[in-house]
Chain A
Amino acid sequence: EPEVTQTPSHQVTQMGQEVILRCVPISNHLYFYWYRQILGQKVEFLVSFYNNEISEKSEIFDDQFSVERPDGSNFTLKIRSTKLEDSAMYFCASCSGESGTDTQYFGPGTRLTVL
């Protein structure tokens, strides 16, 4: 069964450093998302991406964040200058976009630790 994959599974970085989290969505899906979950808290929406552009972003997704689909398979989240409060699990999700369904399937996540 097709799955969303994410790399790395765990990323440790120093405050102020740039990180890039990578995702490979399910191959025929058209909508892509990033969510984050701080330990013990809710899953929070960051950004959605469709047709090679951001379709929606949350207040969390400020100028320090960016997303890109550099080729036909990868979907990346970049944090330019990490802060301690960016430490969280980051989940990529994708949705087929087929009429009548808007189910999002999640990848296994990347645990980001900012020291």
Chain B
Amino acid sequence: QKEVEQNSGPLSVPEGAIASLNCTYSDRGSQSFFWYRQYSGKSPELIMFIYSNGDKEDGRFTAQLNKASQYVSLLIRDSQPSDSATYLCAVKDTGGFKTIFGAGTRLFVKA
């Protein structure tokens, strides 16, 4: 059973701080990794995707991938109260078509 693991949190950070969200995955052959944001009662909203080892930056967000350690992270700089949500790590299944989701980390940004 392929798994994606995340700390459920909640993670609480003050406004303006850096939030660091982590994820590990079980399938060593995985190639495609995604971070989605989900507000309560809403659908997952894509924040970033990353395919290569290293860092990928997009505005206040940086995704980091280490395939040797089977580890993906998301950094949110200058966190805002509007960033308060559940962040879902997702990994494309190498053997098929589906995307496997972690349970998500709840982030609270305190004003």
Q: Which A residues have a C-beta under 8 Å from some C-beta of B?
A: 31, 33, 41-45, 48, 50, 55-56, 58, 89, 91, 101-109
Contact = CB atoms under 8 A, between A and B. Distances in A.
B100 A106 contact: no
Contact of B99 (A55, A89, A104, A108): A104
Contacts of A42: 101-104
Interface residues on B, range: 20 to 34
Given A106-B45, A107-B43, A109-B42, A48 B101 contact: no
Contact of B42 (A31, A48, A108): A108
A77 B53 CA distance: 37
A91 B43 contact: yes
Contact of A56 (B46, B90, B98, B102): B98
Contacts, number: 50
A108 B103 contact: no
A102 B98 contact: no
A79 B3 CA distance: 27
Interface string B19-59: 00000000000001010100000111110010000000000
B92 interface: yes
A107 B100 CA distance: 17
A54 to B, nearest CB: 10
Interface of B: 32, 34, 36, 42-46, 49, 88, 90, 92, 96-104
A102 B32 contact: yes
A102 B43 CA distance: 18
B101 A103 contact: no
Contacts of B32: 102
Interface-central residue, A45, A55, A91, by most chain B CB under 10 Å: A45
Nearest to B95: A56
A91 B44 contact: yes
Contacts of B101: 42-44
